[in-house]
A and B are shown apart, each in its own frame.
Chain A
Amino acid sequence: MPEPASESPIKPIVRALSLENLAESEHRFRALVENLPDAILVHSDSRIVFVNPFCVRLYAAQTAEQLLGRDIYEFIQPDYLSKIKERIEYCYSTGSASIAMEVILTACDGSLVDVEAIAIPISWNGAPAMEVVLRDIRRRKQAERRLRESEDLFEKAFHSNPAGVAISRASDGRYVEMNNTFGAIIGYTRQEVIGNSAVGLGLMSAGKRELYAAELREQGRFRDSALVVKNRAGEERHLLVSGEAISFHGEPHCVGTYNDITENKRAEEALRTSEREQFEIAKQLEIERARLIEAQAVAKVGSWEIELRSLAITWTEQTHRIFETDPLHFRPKRSDFVGLVHPEDRRTVDAAFRASLEKHASSSKVEYRIVLADGRVKVLEEHWKVFEEEGHPVRLMGTCQDITERKRAEQALRESQAELARITRAVTVGELTSSIAHEINQPLTAVITDVSASLRFLDQEPPNLQEGREALVVAIREANRASDVIGRIRSLLRKTPPAMQPLDISGVIVEVLLMVPGELQTRGITVKTELAAFLWVLGDRIQLQQLLLNLILNAIEAMSTITDRPRNLLIKSAELPDGVLIQIQDSGKGLSSELANRIFEPYFTTKSQGIGMGLSISRSIVEAHGGRLWAVAGSPYGATFQFILQRAESPHD
């Protein structure tokens, strides 16, 4: 039940008014009421019947007349209407004054006015009426609103602060206030925290707390102290704690700000880990690189890379070693590389690289020579791959190997093979002589000695016919033995009797060309063939191979000194009405017509190292096949060696 508004300042007056008859001192009353600092309004039957000047001002009216006769409820904010009506009725029914009610009025100018109202039932001109005392509480309300707003603001700022904030009592460290973030960080609810202390929650040791407390006492604050706490779930949180000494309810407190940097820590840790990993990877790469360098050194294989966009060239150490350049200071450029390549090989190298780029060849190979500063020549072999991005070549990666030694060995092998071929062909007059000599000299010695002995026996006086005869018999036997030796050697030389069979001479030419690719390449000779398919001749494969090999090697040798024109070897086979014509044409030094006849004589040679049997034997082979071999001088240079063989029927017909 509402109490009487005992604190109202006008109560005694009203009481006096009700006690005394108004008529008595209406004038005085009016003067009093009109000068009251509160607004007074009397309404009867909801109509305003009296307002004092203050009330006129409160209602933002110009005059009292503007308000008189109007319904009191039309000034009351709709929210309050039902409640006010109820109160008023209650006051009428009980005849007692209402408690103070806060109401918002709508003033005449439309502004809202907060008021505190007390209604007192009175009698106005004999009719029941209600005297209402209105106090302007707009300032208070505004202050209240401001306070509420600032409280809201503070609350928001406090709770939504991304940092945890907690206020604890300085004396015992008990928390009196905390924000949500703080709760989130430590994992405890507000109920658990408030009234408890950091030590009590196990967030820090008593010693640590004492250190903070001392800092606060002495400095009034501390900033960004690193603190590791275990939250309720037992997880470690890394915090940066700042404290500020404040007075709260007249008692020293501490406002603590807790910045959770666990994630940062983790990120930092992760970064450090990834840095360490990267360092490890880099170290591993360094080891791998060292290994690669070593492996390349052992294998004598270098590698390189060319970025096609920038034309940047990278060489490994071994590559530098091969080119004999300084890996620390020499940065290879295309022009450097080209400069090192042997002038005769530049076109080959260029063509190989171009071809690999144009054909998008997955792997390519080239063999070429380089000339070092001191004039030494090395033979290199390179293998590389073209790497593409979106169908365009972007990079070449390859290996580089010094094959000089291998080449030298191959060259030596080839030379010895060629030498062997020559010896084989000239074997009857060559190396075998001395070994044959020994084989034959033994029986000859016996023959001569026996015959000599025989003569001496016969010359004796008297002649010893018996001994003389015996000696001659032995001599005959020994002479036969010598003859046997010769026969044995002859059959040795004729190891393989010629085996005539139908042969495709074009096929034989191809076979022989496959035997000399190295010779052709090292001498820089271009080979062309114009071969009729399936030209059948009757011949001995081995002998015809030897013949062709001999003529081709001669052609190669004839071109070895040519430097002012291309070294071309052209081999043709064609069908004639009565046979098959094979031509071996070179662009070498050529022949005079006189020479063209003499070269086929045995022991005739134009070569410093030749024994002059090659062409003689070649001609013998051709003639043994019922053919003809002759040479024609080229115009203006070169020579063509050609032979005709008899045709054979195809074995498949």
Chain B
Amino acid sequence: MIESNPTVFIVDDDASVRDALKRLLRSVGLRCELFGLAQEFLRYRRPDLPSCLVLDVRLPGTSGLDLQRQLADAEIQIPIIFITAHGDIPMSVRAMKAGAVEFLPKPFRDQDLLEAIHIAMERDRTRRQRETEIAAVRARFETLTPREREVVAMVVSGMPNKRIATEIGITENTVKVHRSRAMDKMQALSLADLVKMVERLAVRLEKAS
């Protein structure tokens, strides 16, 4: 079962810290992957799982803050928890503004880290779920015939059947047939449900283009 296997990615150049974190996560049943350098994490082919990133700020080579920026540039959406032994306020503000879940100065309480990981995982899970739903709606939408898509587009824009029939040049009964089939294919329970699906799809399509 996919959802039960979340993974925490940890990037820290201090091996002791890495190992201690791994042990802590294991104690609460969380899987984790360890990296000593930002570049190593970038090269890693992540499995398609809910995940989050525990990231040290001071790293040799690409710093934690640099990695955050690079991920954002590549549109890789993964919640980040920063940890640092040398933190200051401007640095944490920067990290949080760039969307970090939490900024924890070392040494931190285990509870604080685990809570931050929980929040991060929830966030990732929600995101993933939304994306899965959109993908499903999209898959169903793909099964519609061109005529059905045309009718759906007019229906969600609020046109009555009679008007749609006139616009396309078919009988009102034929419109009703198309509409009913499309509702079935989209698994829409009501007209409102269909409108919601199409809207989400439209947003997604818009974003993709």
**Least distance between B84 CB and chain A CB atoms (Å):** 9
CB <8 Å contact, A467 and B26: yes
Q: Roughly how many angstroms separate A467 CA and B24 CA in the complex, as a whole number?
A: 10
Chain B residues positioned under 8 Å from A457 (CB to CB) = 27
- In the complex, what residues of B have CB within 8 A of residue A438's CB? 58, 85-86
Complex contact A446–B86 (CB within 8 A): no
- Contact (A444, B110) CB under 8 Å given A453-B20, A478-B16: no
- A273 CB–B CB distance under 8 Å: no
CB distance from B22 to the nearest CB of A (A): 9
Partner pick for A437 among B19, B58, B86, B108, CB 8 A cutoff: B86
Contact B21–A449 (Cβ < 8 Å): yes
B110 and A442: CB pair below 8 A? no
Whether the pair B23, A445 counts as a contact (CB closer than 8 A) is: no
Number of interface residues of A (CB under 8 A): 27
Contact partner of A449 among B28, B58, B86, B110, CB < 8 A? B110
**Interface membership of B107, Cβ < 8 A:** yes
What are the residues of chain A within 8 A of B113 when measuring CB–CB?
449
Tell me if A's interface is mostly helix, strand, loop or mixed. helix
Complex interface bits, B24-60 against A, C-beta within 8 A gives 1, otherwise 0 = 1011100000000000000000000000000000100
| Contact in complex: B23, A474 (CB < 8 Å) | yes
Which residues in window 415-473 of A have CB below 8 A to B? 434, 437-438, 441-450, 452-454, 456-457, 460, 464, 467, 470-471
Asked whether, in the complex, the Cβ of B106 is within 8 Å of the Cβ of A450, the reply is no
Contact, CB under 8 Å: B110 / A441: no
Instruction: Establish whether residues A478 and B20, one from each chain, have CB atoms under 8 Å apart when the complex forms.
Output: yes
Which one of A437, A438, A442, A467 has the highest number of Cβ atoms from chain B below 10 Å of its Cβ? A442
Which of under 10, 10 to 19, 20 to 34, or 35 or more describes the interface residues of B? 20 to 34
Say whether A481 faces chain B, with CB atoms less than 8 Å apart: yes
Which residue of the partner chain, among A441, A447, A467, A478, contacts B85 with CB atoms under 8 Å? A441
Q: Tell whether, in the assembled complex, residue A467 and residue B16 are in contact, meaning their CB atoms are under 8 Å apart.
A: no
A434 to B20, CA, bound (A): 23
Shortest CB-to-CB span from A321 to chain B, Å, is 46
- Chain A residue numbers with a CB within 8 Å of B19 are 446, 474
156-173 of chain A: CB within 8 A of chain B: none
Give the Cβ gap from A626 to chain B, nearest Cβ, in Å.
42
Q: Which residues of B contact A456 (CB under 8 A)?
A: 24, 27-28, 110
- CB of B72 within 8 Å of the partner chain: no
Asked whether, in the complex, the Cβ of B24 is within 8 Å of the Cβ of A444, the reply is no
Does the CB pair A449–B26 fall under 8 Å?
no
Q: Is the CB of B23 within 8 A of A453?
A: yes
Residue B199, interface by CB 8 Å: no
A-B contact list, 27 entries, CB within 8 Å: A438-B58, A438-B86, A441-B106, A442-B16, A442-B17, A444-B106, A444-B107, A445-B17, A445-B107, A446-B16, A448-B109, A448-B110, A449-B24, A449-B110, A449-B113, A450-B23, A450-B24, A452-B24, A452-B27, A452-B110, A457-B27, A460-B27, A464-B27, A467-B23, A471-B23, A474-B23, A478-B16
Interfacial residues, chain B to chain A (CB-CB below 8 A): 14, 16-17, 19-21, 23-24, 26-28, 58, 83, 85-86, 106-110, 113
| Residues on A facing B (Cβ under 8 Å) | 434, 437-438, 441-450, 452-454, 456-457, 460, 464, 467, 470-471, 474, 477-478, 481
Name the 4 nearest CB pairs between A and B, nearest first: A452-B110, A441-B85, A456-B27, A449-B20
Known A446-B20, A448-B110, A449-B24; 9 more pairs at CB < 8 Å: A434-B86, A437-B85, A442-B17, A445-B106, A445-B108, A447-B107, A449-B21, A453-B26, A467-B26
